[in-house]
Amino acid sequence: MNFDSSDNSSAHPSGKIKTQTFKQFQLERLIQEGKVIPASKLAAAKEQELQRTREFEASVEDEQRYRSKTKLKSANMPDNPPLTRERFKD
């Protein structure tokens, strides 16, 4: 059986051949699974975590300020006091 390149004239390339080492393949798989963060996204993730920490600390301060300004109900005060009026005397 002779192979002649002119016989393959109707063949078209199916796409790019992907060649990579096992280490590259393993790294891609870990990135897709979310177990590893690429270095390019690491700085953004740290900044986002720092922003969350700042917001949490600010909310704690606001909560403390709010609690210090509000008065607590005394133990002998009922939750829903009855609404009554005294009669007007002529």
Average pLDDT over the chain reads 77
Residue 58 lies inside a defined structural domain of this protein: yes
Residue 10 lies inside a defined structural domain of this protein: no
Confidence (pLDDT) at 22: 82
Residue 50 lies inside a defined structural domain of this protein: yes
Confidence (pLDDT) at 58: 94
Residue 47 lies inside a defined structural domain of this protein: yes
Asked if residue 4 has pLDDT above 60, the reply is: no
pLDDT in tens, 27-45: 888 888 878 777 878 888 8
* SS3 per-residue string spanning 20-71: CCHHHHHHHHHHHHCCCCCHHHHHHHHHHHHHHHHHHHHHHHHHHHHHHHCC
Mean pLDDT of 64-68: 85
Domain span holding position 64: 39-68
Residue 20 lies inside a defined structural domain of this protein: no
Residue 5 lies inside a defined structural domain of this protein: no
Contact present, 36 and 27 (Cβ < 8 Å): yes
Residue 24 lies inside a defined structural domain of this protein: no
Asked if residue 83 has pLDDT above 60, the reply is: yes
Structure-token pair, residue 15: 């796409």
* Total structural domains within the chain: 1
Residue 59 lies inside a defined structural domain of this protein: yes
Give the angle 76-78-84 at the CA atoms, nearest 5°: 120
**Percent of the chain at pLDDT above 90?**
18
